Amino acid sequence: MVYVVEMDVHIPETWSEEKLADYVAREKACSQKWQSSGKWKYLWRVAGKYSNISVLEVESPDELHQIISSLPLFPYMTIKVTSICKHPNALRETLL
């Protein structure tokens, strides 16, 4: 199953620079672990926002939730998930 996941991060204004740096470092390590696994296919930053658009290919919605909820910043995100499949008019079989 292939999903497009849009993640908007909302950092609490009360966080210290140290706390933010810790979360950002742990978020990077976690997302790179999932990218290395092959499950997280693409990761793009949205220009001008603390947001990203990602493509994940997983076995089930439960696995997708496991990956997304493992992110340290998960509690501070607004997330939109869209399930996608190949379009019948697409010239290429797949980009993944």
pLDDT tens, position by position, 11-55: 999 999 999 999 999 999 999 999 999 999 999 999 999 999 999
Q: What is the pLDDT of residue 62?
A: 98
In this structure, is residue 95 part of a structural domain? no
Domain CATH for 29: 3.30.70.1060
Q: What is the pLDDT of residue 46?
A: 97
Instruction: Collapse the DSSP code of 51 into the 3-class scheme (helix H, G, I; strand E, B; otherwise coil) and give the result.
Output: strand
CB 65 within 8 A of CB 57: no
Strands 2-9 and 51-57: antiparallel
Pairwise CA distance, residues 53 & 8, whole Å: 9
In this structure, is residue 96 part of a structural domain? no
Q: What is the pLDDT of residue 95?
A: 60
CB 74 within 8 A of CB 68: yes
Threshold 0.85, pTM exceeds: yes
Task: Give exposure, 11-21, as e/b (b: 16+ Cβ within 10 Å).
Answer: eeeeeeeeeee
- The count of domains in the chain is 1
